[in-house]
Amino acid sequence: MADQHRPGTLGHYVPYLLGRHLRAGAWPPEIGKRAILVLLGLLAVVYGLGFGHMLGNHDLSATLRANFLLGLYGTVFTSTLLVDFVPSYRPVQRLLPDHFPVSGRRSAELAFLLDLISLRRLLLGVFLAALACVPGQQRVALLGVALLLGATALSFGLRWLLTWGRGRRHPLVAAYAAVLALAGAWLTLAATKSLTGPLAAGLPWLVALLPLGLLAGQVAGLGPQFLNRNLVRPALDTAESQWLARLSPEWKAYLRKTWPALSMGLAFKVFLLVASSVMQAKHGSDSSRSIFYLVFLPVISFTYANNNLYGYLYSLTLNELQRLGLTSRLLVLYLRLAVPVLLLDCLLSAVLLVALFPASTWPLLGLLPLSAGVFLALGLWGSLSKAKPVYKNLDLMNMRNNASTLMNILTLATAATLYFMPWWWVRAGLAVSIMLTAVVPVRRLLSNHGPQRRQLHHRLQSM
């Protein structure tokens, strides 16, 4: 018995912790979430098999095949790397208490194994496993797995140093930054067709294997200091605290809950509008229409946040309901928070459209004021009639569930209709009609409508 629990080994903790973490990430207790994960897994298998057969098609040109492979490798590397930083930062933690008879190195190895178990990495692993089942695509899948492991090692090692206070000045931070620069250079050179010969084949493997080597050295050198007392998540910096101190209480509560979704939405807007401008320049005006309207119009900020604004501020809203009921103060609260975010979103869209797209597309600027009024009306309807309390900060797993599905579908359908409708008079008529419906929730707010007040109170008190 003594040999089974000698110091420096994890013993029977490994299968227990790995199994519990895997069940929590891949098989949650809720039936609905299980069904969604099974569906996502089946889609990953179908896409993997389909992508493999497409790559094996002899009619596929070498240039197109190289573009598809670059897209695959770039997606695997960047999405695996960013999942721990965007939309919320995930610090590295030691899973076992410091007094357990387990060395720091073994704890670091276990933490890395558990870091691999996330929904995005599991789905990418299923996709690559399905791709490997297609004859002739095993080397492609193998490089994809290597990039997945390398990106995870890069993320884990960098977050370990950031979580460890003294690690921010460690030379390994510069080494990880050099790997990031190398990965960026590889993707840029490959996209511009500047890589040929052995360099084109060896550079992605170097990007994949270097982080694993750096992490192995980090575990060997810094492993003994992998202790909970050294891995303290930093509190808010004084600059951030001073910045928050200048804001009103409702803005503090709003931004603490919604900043991941709002910042990710702005980042998606910039990235996809730049990509759309490149696609339009290369392939014509119709090549990017399917994604252009989703980021040009202020869709993401409403579907992820402002369609459930009272749900994010459930404590403030409940306090207002219990003190005064439905009053103009709640309407002012909605407008004070939603309108500035909407104006920033529309301003960024306008600047990017004028800067990146030809003058023939500038008439689309007229869609911004139309969609702004429409989305404000739909957001007020959703926040008042379909509110659901949001108790935690947003993360990638629950963002799509933090607003009413019905209101999000209506928002997306309205955005598509406004964009693809060819007649401006129909667009204007539709927008005005939807904006006029906001008279109903506004009157209910101003008149302290009893059924609406009780419904909102019941929704915000439900778990």
Q: Count Cβ atoms within 10 A of the Cβ of residue 225 and give its class: 0-12 exposed, 13-18 middle, 19 or more buried.
A: middle
Q: Phi first, then psi: what are they for 398, rounded to 5°?
A: -115, 5
- The one-character DSSP state at 169 is G
Q: Count Cβ atoms within 10 A of the Cβ of residue 157 and give its class: 0-12 exposed, 13-18 middle, 19 or more buried.
A: buried
Contacts for 371 with CB less than 8 Å, ≥ 6 apart: 297, 298, 414, 415, 418, 431
Q: Phi first, then psi: what are they for 231, rounded to 5°?
A: -105, 75
- From 412, 393, 253, 229, select the one nearest 318 (Cα to Cα): 253
* Helix, strand, coil tally for the chain in percent (to 5): 75, 0, 25
Report helix, strand or coil for 229. Answer: coil
Token pair for residue 167? 């690690």
Residue 255's identity, in one-letter code, is L
Token pair for residue 109? 């190895």
- From 167, 136, 134, select the one nearest 234 (Cα to Cα): 167
Q: Which residues pair with 231 in a beta bridge?
A: 164
Check: CB of residue 353 under 8 Å from CB of residue 364.
yes
Check: CB of residue 353 under 8 Å from CB of residue 362.
yes
Contacts for 230 with CB less than 8 Å, ≥ 6 apart: 164, 165
Instruction: Kindly give the confidence (pLDDT) of every residue in the chain, 463 residues in length, as a single tens digit, with 9 standing for 90 and above.
Output: 444 444 445 556 667 777 777 777 667 777 767 777 788 888 889 888 988 888 888 777 777 788 788 888 888 888 888 777 765 677 787 777 777 777 778 888 888 888 887 777 888 888 999 999 988 889 999 999 999 999 999 989 888 888 776 666 778 888 998 998 898 888 877 777 777 777 878 888 999 999 999 999 988 888 888 877 777 654 444 444 555 566 777 888 888 778 777 877 787 788 778 777 776 766 655 555 667 778 888 888 888 788 888 888 878 888 888 888 888 888 888 888 889 989 988 888 888 888 777 888 888 888 889 999 999 999 888 888 887 777 665 544 455 567 777 888 888 889 889 888 888 898 999 999 999 999 998 998 888 888 888 888 887 776 5
Residue with tokens 């009103």: 248
pTM (predicted TM-score): 0.59
Check: CB of residue 327 under 8 Å from CB of residue 274.
no
> Measured on CA atoms in the order 215, 220, 225, 227, is the torsion positive or negative?
positive
Spatial separation of the C-alpha atoms in residues 49 and 43, rounded to whole Å: 10
Interior/surface letters 267-294, b for 16+ CB within 10 angstroms, e for the rest = eebeebbeebbebbeeeeeeebeeebbb
Spatial separation of the C-alpha atoms in residues 138 and 134, rounded to whole Å: 7
Spatial separation of the C-alpha atoms in residues 305 and 86, rounded to whole Å: 16
Report helix, strand or coil for 234. Answer: coil
Is the peptide bond preceding residue 87 cis, with omega within 30 degrees of 0?
yes
Q: Which residues pair with 164 in a beta bridge?
A: 231
